[in-house]
Amino acid sequence: MDIKEDKPNAEEINGLDDDLKDEMITLRSKDGKEIEVKKKFAFISQVIKTSLENDSESKVLPIMGVNYDTLEHIVSYMNHHQGSEPPIVDKPLRNKKMSENVKDKWDAPFIDKIGESNRQALYDLILAANYMDIKALLHLGCAKVASLIKGQPLERIKEILDPKNKEKKEEKEAKKSEKA
């Protein structure tokens, strides 16, 4: 008596994610600009995932709380991590160098570049990660801010956390020198 096993063929093995493999979604920023990302990669954001689960036919998703420049950084992050969230940065930070604190070595230069070039861009990224519910990116951004303030004196911490505070201080000093 021959017993033949029923083995599923390759097409039957594929899961639900295979439908998303190369499908693209367009994200529209609050300033009206659009950027494309693979739908599967965008699922790293719980807001996008929930929106698409509620309206699976949607091809354009408005991300009203995020400007285009920040959305570009987020899409870069999504593309690198390909839809799976990396481990959250350990706390407290072991080192001021981000490369010593992250598990995925790509994350360190990514967040360092944003944090060093334009502090406001870093804060915008943190707010956007929170808005879009991307936990690992939110923690990465906060860890970068923590690395910037670690071991700094109070006045320097104030400048780091509020770049406008530095401008106000410079304006006061300029007015004092004018009066003298």
Helices (H), 9-162: 10-13, 39-42, 46-54, 68-81, 107-117, 119-131, 135-149, 154-161
Q: What is the mean pLDDT of residues 164-174?
A: 62
Report residue 149 as tokens.
């303030």
Q: What is the mean pLDDT of residues 3-24?
A: 54
Report residue 151 as tokens.
């071991």
Q: What is the pLDDT of residues 138-166, one digit of tens each?
A: 999 999 999 999 999 999 999 888 877 65
> Does position 12 have pLDDT exceeding 50, yes or no?
no
Report residue 6 as tokens.
């029923």
Radius of gyration for the alpha carbons in the chain, expressed in angstroms and rounded: 22
Q: What is the pLDDT of residues 64-114, one digit of tens each?
A: 999 999 999 999 999 999 989 898 998 888 888 998 989 999 999 999 999
Quick one: pLDDT at residue 11? 44
Report residue 115 as tokens.
């944090």
Name the residue among 178, 172, 106 with its Cα closest to residue 140.
106
Quick one: pLDDT at residue 70? 96
Report residue 2 as tokens.
């021959």
> Does position 30 have pLDDT exceeding 70, yes or no?
yes
Q: Considering the chain, what is the average pLDDT of its residues?
A: 85
Task: Tell me 15's DSSP state.
Answer: -
